[in-house]
Amino acid sequence: MTRSGHPKQGPLADALAQLAATVEHLGYDEGMHQMLATARREMQVSVPLRRDDDSVVVYSGYRVQHNFSRGPAKGGLRFASNVDLDEIRALAMWMTWKCALVDVPYGGAKGGVAIEPRDHSNRELERVTRRYTSEISPIIGPEVDIPAPDIGTNEQTMAWMMDTYSALVGHTVQGVVTGKPVGLGGSRGRATATSRGAAHIAMLAMAAHGMQPEKSTAAVQGFGKVGRDAARFLSQSGVTVRAVSDVDGAVYSAAGLDIIHLGAHVDRTGSVAGFEGAEALDPADLITLDVDVLVPAAVEGVVTADNAANVRARIVIEGANGPTTKEADAILMERDVVVVPDILANAGGVIVSYFEWVQAHQAYQWSEREVNDRLEERLTAAWHDVIQYASAHGLTYRAAATAIAVRRVTEAHRQRGLYP
């Protein structure tokens, strides 16, 4: 830790460094800097679990609410063995900027439980989810903080959360979470919204840099909640997807992977590894493949100082949160590699989460076409905001996006005033 108590490296260090550079660019004073850097509320909870064999283990759970200036907090819940408080703090901060950038009336939040989902039965995951929900229930709610799925969680997790919270308050509250099954008030188009948004932003970025989809290639790191459908949407747009990876392996085909058949293989086997018609690839090598577009869509910190100099893609689309470290960012900038930041590239999920929340308040469901059209409209507007600001101020897309978002949060804070 540094003397200020900030970590020397990791996602939180990167998030704080991005904010510090933005504060300097905007000319804010130290008081405003500290207000923007400090989470409004943090909760760490014990999550005991009685396993199926009747043994008991205890996991740590977290919920961080970074900012409320523009509205209730919003952010995902992840189940992963390496979850810790600093990671959740960073992700919550990025959520604040993401919501502001795409102009949805939320602040940022994030939650997590330090558990490996693949080591647990579905019944055990239900018990963990319900216990975690009950522990954080005093600080969540449809007008307070609205969780959504993230790594290791899904629409079933959200259904359990909604049911647990509803049981605690004595009536059904569909708006307490988003990313639910459609039959329980979920939005059509929500499951693929982050992926669709990343692919849409990729098309806009390619067009802005003179690249045609039919003549372009891509590699997608991650074949889960975001990467799988991002690869499919890119392929459907004409891009040749040469490689994908997951936690168990990676596959490559110079002629392009058949993403639909690869998806069927993953459904059967649980991994991209062993897919017929493709070569096995070292997952670490995917980052430096000779492709036009790289989509890191798994976890944070995968493009680093160790591999950034060897990245051959012209454009990096950050499907994951924080996949590029601060040091790697500087290297890519020096090499004129275009990085479309996470707070823009993967904002499709929070946009459609907002649509789901609105639909819950209206007790009315939009068509999938309405959802997708409104999603692309918001992302396109945010894209143009970013490229115009970047051009006007001589900034990278990340710096421009963060500046726009931080300025909007600050304006909301100043208009509300400081209480008391």
How confident is the model over 278-333, as pLDDT tens digits? 999 999 999 999 999 999 998 888 999 999 999 999 999 999 988 999 999 999 99
User: Residue 80 corresponds to which tokens in the numbers above?
Assistant: 């992963």
Contact by Cβ (8 Å): 407, 223: no
Residues identified as active-site: 110
pLDDT of 24 over the 50 cut: yes
pLDDT of 245 over the 70 cut: yes
- Where exactly are the structural domains of the chain? 40-176, 193-345
E strand residue ranges, 35-104: 41-50, 56-65, 73-79
pLDDT of 196 over the 80 cut: yes
Can you say how many angstroms the Cα of residue 268 is from the centroid of all Cα atoms in its chain?
27
What pLDDT, on a 0 to 100 scale, did the predictor assign at position 413? 95
Fold identical between 40-176 and 193-345? Answer: yes
Contact by Cβ (8 Å): 13, 326: yes
Which range is least confidently modeled, 173-182, 366-375, 411-420? 411-420
SS3 content of the chain, % helix, strand, coil (to 5): 50, 15, 35
**CATH fold for domain 193-345:** Rossmann fold (3.40.50)
For 40-176, the fitting CATH number among 3.90.1150.10, 3.90.79.10, 3.30.70.120, 3.40.50.10860 is 3.40.50.10860
What is the rounded distance in angstroms from the CA atom of residue 251 to the CA atom of residue 221?
Answer: 10
Query: Structure pTM?
Result: 0.92
